[in-house]
Amino acid sequence: MSKAFFILVLHAHMPYVLDIRFENTLEERWLYEAVVDCYLRLIQTFDRLMTDGIPFGLTISISPVLLAQLENPLFIRRFIKYLNLQIDLTEKEILRTIRIPELAPLAKMYNGYYRDALRTFEERCNYDIIQTFRSFQDMGALEIITCAATHAYLPLLRPALSGIRTQVTVAKKEYKRIFGRTLSGLWLPECGYFPGLDTLLLQAGIKYTFLDTHTIQSSEPIPEYAAYAPIISPSGMVAFGRDVHTAKEVWSSMDGYPGDSDYRDFYRDIGFDLDLDYVGAYLPGEVRSYTGLKYYRIKKNRGQNRIYVPEIAERKVSIHTDDFLAHRLKQVRDLSLSMGFPPVICALYDAELFGHWWFEGPSWLEMLFRKIFECGEYFTPVKPSDYLKQKPMLQRSQPQGGSWGWKGYNEVWINEKNSWVYPHLFKAAEKMEALAVKSGWNVMEERALNQAGKELLLAQSSDWTFILHNETLSEYATKRIKEHLGRFWKLIHQIETCSIKEDWLCEVETQDNIFPSFNYKDFL
Amino acid sequence: MPDDDKAHFPHKYNENYLYLLEVDPTHIHAFWEITPDCIPDQILKRCLSNKKLWLKIYCNFRDSHRFCVDLNVHGLINDWFIEIESPLTGCHAELGYKDPGEEKFVSLCRSNNLDVILEKESSDCSIEKINQSDVNSHVYEEKKKDINPFIIDTEKEKKTHHMELITEKDIKDYYRLLSEKRIFHPGYSPWKLILKRINSAESLRVLKPSGFEKFYEQHYSSSETNSSYSSYWSVTFSYSQIPKIDKDK
């Protein structure tokens, strides 16, 4: 039986939520929670694996807009403040639960959790999460890639191709600036692909990407081995296909591991359970929302929430890693019979699933890599670039299009709730392109053009149309789109009427302080 | 920062435009804006109310069959989700009105071209295997001096690159790109545009860039866009020498 290749990709992304005008907003909390629950815990996991000499060969995609926030001094200051606030809350909880024996150990656990996060951030990372991830890459432990600049959903930017090219160009430039090497692979936001995108990516020097299962399977000619062997498009782009089984085992809300009733319930939080007088000071705007302190397990059917017991959850993690590996072994055996060469099993996940939505996720990952190392005669974790260095023979096939979103195509990002956004994005891109092609701008005008370009990039983020579709924070998403495009057109008006207000330009540059490598000519 | 940033968000652009986007293999989305002054007064009131605007969708099917669908749309609703037949491979659309009496379609704006995803698995089972490093000159690498997006290989002296520019906007944009990047200079025209009208008996036309603008004006009047597939052009762009041009100038 051939040894299979196992490519595990975690895609980390947060929309741009830092706002210099307001502190401790609900949206900024998303970022802090992702850092504590996911990114710092991944760093701790990688450290432990490396200390024990266990290779993990994992790939991480970190979006440029997330990178921009993590390196922003505003984030560093506010994140430390957030952690101290959380530590303060947990100490209050320790006192409150001192006579509640089933909750007291959990309160202490959370106290240790946030103290550990602060220590990792300050001492291990030296306040620089990005450089910590970079060090793992420099040691060869993992491969870091990135995605479109502001996570724009590229198939729906087709009428304004300059928008797509700029998203990719900025991604490439920011990656080079931050990681000091050339980007070879690109994560497509939502795995959104259309025929012709491969050519655009190759023009930017991107060699490979990842596509959803059905996108690979509908390629022309039909791929001989479905998603278990990467294909190469006629233009030369390599596409790795997502394995549907690893997706279902981890992602499925019904049957996936994270929904197990011994795992921590994300939704049952003291921010909703306890008196607002008690917990309000720790909530953004003193309005009920998640604090991160959760004491209960996921509800089983219609039963009551049971108290969370970390030891029970850890045992379940072990069971689930064994289950995952058993499925992979069966897969490898079945595939080896028909393929005649090592299959490639590609597991793609959002990074935030591990730790934030699925609290036990980082433990599951660590245990998985330990078990693969112990009994990994059937498959080996590999990074996509290392796989391609072996110069495998790939079937030439043209993917047709699709995404990993609901229903497999574009409907999440274009429907009756969000279709109004796109003409505005196209008109702005056309304007940007028209101005970028001109020359003779003075220094101030170039500054304004650069900032206008950044506002357009921020408006193109797929997060806003996604939120509008889900109707979770529709007002917020609408506000963000209109603010960014409003600033865009205000800047354009000032440029065209030679009336740039430098004070206001400075404010906007400080507020939307992203992508130092971006230049308005990237829209050409 | 002033709250009026949002106030600069435009609700209209006072231009005629039509955008098509794909939702999934069986639905497309059309969004447009038309300015009242592009429609004669006597028709305007009717157009903007009682379903007197027409959206013509020109569909391409997998077997090269082409078909035009006429949709009568309400003038005040400019945001449509349209169910289409599969296996459509691509489409574009025009929005306009019908001249009263003559019933001739008057086009107001034309959309982008849209490739549509095939829903069904391909019936092509051929297998060709290749190594990524062996992919030929169709692999695009970043060209620092590339100011012409259609150059494939700067090493070769003579190369012909066939492009299908099938809307007037494509050709106009392409011509603008050539002139604005000063790919040709007065007295120096290494470039030729060879245009062939698809589905027509018209033979090949060979044009130097200096003659293109006149040709464009002559052939891309609004009446031209009324015809269906005779407005499809195949453009072959050939050059004998790649001029060195400073991109920053």
Angle between helices A443-459 and A161-179 (to 10 degrees): 100
pLDDT score recorded for residue B87: 66
Mutate to test the interface with A, among B81, B91, B110, B117 (most CBs of A within 10 A): B117
CA distance A482 to chain B (A): 5
**Hey, which residues 464-503 in chain A have their CB within 8 Å of chain B?**
479, 482-483, 485-487, 489-490, 493
SS3 A297: strand
CA distance B118 to chain A (A): 7
- For A100-135, give the secondary structure using H, E and C: CCCCHHHHHHHHHHHHHHHHHHHHHCCCCHHHHHHH
Q: Report chain A's mean pLDDT, rounded to a whole number.
A: 94
Chain B residues lying within 8 Å of A396, measured CB to CB = 128-130
**Hey, which residues 172-191 in chain B have their CB within 8 Å of chain A?**
180
CA distance B194 to B188: 18
CA distance A207 to A184: 5
Chain A residues lying within 8 Å of B10, measured CB to CB = 424, 427, 485, 489
Reported as a pLDDT band with limits 50, 70 and 90, residue B25 is confident
**What angle is formed at CA A464 by the lines to CA A458 and CA A468, rounded to 5 degrees?**
160
Which residue, A325, A315, A327, A323, is CA-closest to A360?
Answer: A315
Q: Are A37 and A362 within 8 A, CB to CB?
A: no
Number of H helices, E strands in chain B: 4, 13
pLDDT score recorded for residue B50: 56
Chain A residues lying within 8 Å of B123, measured CB to CB = 222
Strands B129-130, A394-396: pairing is: antiparallel
CA distance A294 to A265: 7
CA distance A55 to chain B (A): 27
Mark out the alpha helices in B91-237 (DSSP H runs). Answer: 168-180, 209-219, 222-226
Task: Show the tokens assigned to A30.
Answer: 């998303």
Cβ contact B21–A410 (<8 Å):
yes
Chain B residues lying within 8 Å of A154, measured CB to CB = none
pLDDT in tens, B36-54: 776 666 666 666 655 578 8
Cβ contact A218–B121 (<8 Å):
yes
Of A394, A416, A420, the CB nearest to B132: A394
Q: Are A188 and A198 within 8 A, CB to CB?
A: no
Residue-by-residue DSSP string for B45-95 = HHHTTTT-EEEEEEEEETTS-EEEEEEEE-TT--EEEEE--TTEEEEEEEE
Chain B residues lying within 8 Å of A420, measured CB to CB = 31, 79
- Please classify residue A76 by burial: count the beta carbons closer than 10 Å to its beta carbon, then call 0-12 exposed, 13-18 middle and 19+ buried: middle
User: The dihedral of CA A138, A144, A145, A147: what is its sign?
Assistant: negative
Task: Mention every residue, 6+ apart, whose C-beta is less than 8 A from residue A401.
Answer: A155, A193, A194, A195, A215, A218, A409, B22, B115, B117
Beta bridge partners of B207: B193
ipTM value for the complex: 0.90
| B117 against A36, higher pLDDT | A36
pTM: 0.84
pLDDT digit of tens for each residue in chain A (524 aa)? Answer: 558 999 999 999 999 999 999 988 999 999 999 999 999 999 999 999 999 999 989 999 999 999 999 999 999 999 999 999 999 999 999 999 999 999 999 999 999 999 999 999 999 999 999 999 999 999 999 999 999 999 999 999 999 899 999 999 999 999 999 999 999 999 999 999 999 999 999 989 999 999 999 999 999 899 999 999 999 998 899 999 999 999 999 988 778 999 999 999 999 999 999 999 999 999 998 889 999 999 999 987 777 889 999 999 999 999 999 999 999 999 998 888 888 889 999 999 999 999 999 999 999 999 999 999 987 678 899 999 999 998 888 999 999 899 999 999 999 999 999 999 999 999 999 999 999 999 899 999 999 999 999 999 999 999 999 999 999 899 999 999 999 999 999 999 999 999 999 999 999 999 999 999 999 999 98
Q: Write out the E strands in A327-384.
A: 344-350, 379-381
Cβ contact B33–A426 (<8 Å):
no
Q: Are A176 and A183 within 8 A, CB to CB?
A: yes
pLDDT score recorded for residue B154: 37
CA distance A389 to chain B (A): 10
The backbone torsions φ and ψ at residue A429, rounded to the nearest 5 degrees and listed phi first, read: -65, -40
Q: Give the nearest chain A residue to B147 (CA atoms).
A: A524
